[in-house]
């Protein structure tokens, strides 16, 4: 939830974990106070109340965060995490106080409780994170945990023998289930758009939740992965300049027959590359199966799933590449996450670039998105003897990159998507668009920096001189967003 609300920066996990641990610490202080005021046998009721309040607040955290981030930073909501964790954190010392006798076996008794706590924590994380998130939405996971909390609280109170308590618990459970609909109906919309969530265009038409993340599509056809913009659900080059970049393979490579693409997202790039006149086979690796479901729902990209030239692997890109290092490709393409998001280093470091270069055929290139990070561009230009920049993308190789405007023009005039030409040169509008696309090559060598233009390796190195190199151990882009 917090990763989605913040579009996934690396700091997000640290802040949430810090709030959680702080809450547990303050909860322990609370339990110390309770232990000094009451006899052990009288602590069962406070424990039940703490469990009940913690689970009800835990249920409310999601809609409350969605409500607050509409007007303020998500950091203001971290006390909610701390309080929820604190209420749960207070229960463990209280249970120890009740269950462990102050005798020679106190150490053994405490160790058994710790073992049970560790097993429960690990099992809960595994069950929710690796199982339930593939079958239930955030709403129903929250409901399930709240209902389990209510049941535990009633069990601690011995409520099975008290009719009034059972009725109260059933009413509370019914209130949780019935309120979950309106409370959770707009949480992703609110967390994604924040202050602008009421705008007409800020309406989500698709939400797909899996354990690998949350994919959303809005009314304008923009697709978001984990709350961050991923592109557009369109393959029409008239709709957006962003689709010019996958069309540039023939500018950099004379015969991109075998292509590896890391990251499918909404499938627009995959559909365009799969229909490239020279491409014979493309392997698409996508870590989140939710994207496949989204692609299936949109006719413009759905043919990708049935194209005989396309091989889709649901896997972590780096893991798949480690396991298939014997396979070789003409081009390795990555239109991947923003350089400042958590785990971006896995696709920008020199270690990953070395893994990718080992899978290139002679003359092959790696064509990847740096999302305009000077550090990522500097890393690619330093680590390879041949490089070009096209907008935020880098094309790097160990062999001379034979860039050709004429070859690019020839490919574009023969390009067809599902049998239909991408450009109709009988139309003045499309002839102008062709000139606009080919005009990108006219920005070389890049002496004057044009953000969406092209640039030679020499100019990249001059412009980024003094920048650090990204390695698996130096995740500079994830922690310094000015890089």
Name the CATH code of domain 241-479 (choices 3.40.50.150, 3.40.50.10320, 3.20.20.80, 1.20.120.530): 3.40.50.150
DSSP 286-318: ES-THHHHHHHT-TTTGGGGG-TTEEEEES-HH
Provide the whole-model pTM.
0.90
pLDDT of residue 483: 60
Q: Is the pLDDT of residue 100 over 90?
A: no
**DSSP H helix total and E strand total for the chain:** 18, 14
Q: Is the pLDDT of residue 39 over 90?
A: no
pLDDT band at residue 55 using 50, 70 and 90 as cut-offs: very high
Closest CA to 44 of 34, 54, 36: 34
Q: Bridge-partner residues for 311, per DSSP?
A: 283
pLDDT band at residue 22 using 50, 70 and 90 as cut-offs: very high
pLDDT of residue 459: 96
The count of other CB atoms within 10 Å of the CB of residue 54 is 24
Looking at residues 190-196, what average pLDDT do you find?
Answer: 94
pLDDT of residue 390: 97
User: Which stretch of DSSP H or E encloses residue 307?
Assistant: none
Q: Is the pLDDT of residue 433 over 70?
A: yes
Q: Bridge-partner residues for 218, per DSSP?
A: 204
Looking at residues 29-40, what average pLDDT do you find?
Answer: 81
Q: Bridge-partner residues for 231, per DSSP?
A: 223
pLDDT band at residue 165 using 50, 70 and 90 as cut-offs: confident
pLDDT tens string 102-144: 888 889 999 999 999 999 999 999 999 999 999 999 999 999 9
Which phi and psi angles does 402 have, rounded to 5°? -90, 70
Query: What whole-number distance in Å separates Cα of residue 101 and Cα of residue 92?
Result: 15
Peptide bond into 120 cis (omega under 30): no
Low-confidence winner among 237-241, 274-278, 436-440, 453-457 (lowest mean pLDDT):
237-241
Looking at residues 372-384, what average pLDDT do you find?
Answer: 97
In the predicted model, what is the mean pLDDT of the chain? 93
Residue 104 carries which DSSP code?
T
pLDDT band at residue 164 using 50, 70 and 90 as cut-offs: confident
pLDDT tens string 223-256: 999 999 999 999 999 988 889 999 999 999 999 9
pLDDT of residue 437: 95
Q: Is the pLDDT of residue 61 over 90?
A: yes
Which phi and psi angles does 55 have, rounded to 5°? -75, -35
pLDDT band at residue 160 using 50, 70 and 90 as cut-offs: low
pLDDT band at residue 161 using 50, 70 and 90 as cut-offs: low
What's the CA angle centered on 104, arms 100 and 106, to 5 degrees? 25
Looking at residues 406-417, what average pLDDT do you find?
Answer: 95
Looking at residues 139-161, what average pLDDT do you find?
Answer: 88
pLDDT band at residue 87 using 50, 70 and 90 as cut-offs: very high
Query: What whole-number distance in Å separates Cα of residue 63 and Cα of residue 190?
Result: 9
Q: Is the pLDDT of residue 336 over 60?
A: yes
Q: Is the pLDDT of residue 325 over 90?
A: yes
Question: Three-class SS string for 199-220?
Answer: CCCCCEEEEEEECCEEEEEECC
Q: Is 432 exposed, middle or buried (0-12, 13-18, 19+ CB in 10 A)?
A: exposed
Looking at residues 355-383, what average pLDDT do you find?
Answer: 97
DSSP 362-412: EEEEEEEE-TT-HHHHHHHHHHSSEEEEETTEEEEESS-----HHHHHHHH
Residues of the chain above pLDDT 70, percent: 99
Which phi and psi angles does 456 have, rounded to 5°? -80, 165
Q: Cα 278 from chain centroid?
A: 32
Spans of all domains in the chain: 2-192, 241-479
């Amino acid at each position: 939830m917090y990763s989605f609300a913040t579009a996934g920066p690396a700091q997000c996990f640290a802040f949430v974990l810090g709030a959680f641990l702080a809450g547990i610490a303050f909860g322990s202080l609370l339990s110390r106070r309770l232990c000094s005021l009451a006899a052990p046998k009288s602590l069962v009721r406070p424990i039940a109340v703490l469990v009940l309040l913690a689970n009800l607040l835990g249920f409310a955290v999601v809609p409350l965060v969605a409500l607050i981030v509409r007007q303020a930073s998500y950091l203001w909501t971290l006390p909610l995490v701390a309080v929820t964790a604190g209420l749960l954190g207070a229960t463990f010392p209280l249970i120890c106080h009740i269950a462990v006798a102050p005798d020679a076996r106190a150490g053994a008794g405490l160790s058994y409780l710790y073992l049970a706590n560790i097993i429960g924590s690990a099992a809960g994380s595994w069950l929710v994170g690796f199982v339930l998130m593939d079958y239930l939405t955030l709403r129903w996971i929250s409901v399930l945990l709240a209902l389990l909390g209510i049941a535990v609280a009633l069990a601690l109170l011995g409520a099975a023998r008290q009719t009034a308590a059972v009725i109260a618990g059933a009413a509370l459970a019914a209130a949780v289930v019935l309120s979950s609909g309106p409370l959770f109906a707009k949480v992703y919309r609110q967390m994604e758009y924040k202050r602008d969530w009421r705008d007409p265009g800020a309406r989500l038409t698709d939400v797909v939740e899996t354990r690998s993340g949350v994919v959303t599509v809005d009314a304008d056809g923009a697709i978001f992965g984990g709350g961050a913009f991923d592109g557009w659900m369109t393959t029409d080059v008239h709709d957006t300049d962003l689709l010019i970049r996958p069309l540039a393979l023939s500018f950099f490579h004379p015969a991109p027959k075998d292509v590896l693409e890391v990251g499918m997202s909404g499938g627009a790039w995959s559909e365009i590359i799969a229909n490239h006149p020279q491409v014979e086979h493309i392997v698409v690796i996508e870590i989140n199966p939710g994207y496949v479901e989204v692609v299936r729902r949109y006719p413009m990209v759905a043919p990708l799933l049935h194209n005989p030239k396309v091989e889709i692997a649901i896997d972590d890109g780096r893991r798949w590449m480690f396991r298939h290092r014997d396979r070789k490709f003409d081009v390795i393409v990555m239109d991947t996450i923003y350089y400042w998001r958590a785990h971006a280093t896995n696709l920008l470091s020199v270690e990953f670039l070395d893994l990718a270069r080992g899978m290139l055929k002679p003359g092959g290139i790696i064509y990847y998105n740096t999302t305009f990070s000077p550090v990522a561009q500097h890393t690619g230009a330093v680590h390879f003897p041949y490089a070009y920049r096209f907008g935020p993308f880098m094309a790097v190789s160990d062999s001379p990159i034979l860039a050709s405007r004429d070859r690019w023009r020839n490919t574009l005039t023969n390009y067809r998507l599902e049998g239909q030409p991408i450009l109709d040169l009988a139309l003045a509008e499309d002839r102008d668009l062709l000139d606009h696309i080919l005009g990108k090559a006219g920005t070389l060598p890049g002496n004057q920096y044009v953000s969406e233009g092209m640039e030679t390796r020499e100019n990249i190195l001059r412009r980024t001189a003094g920048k650090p190199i990204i390695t698996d151990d130096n995740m500079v882009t994830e922690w310094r967003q000015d890089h």
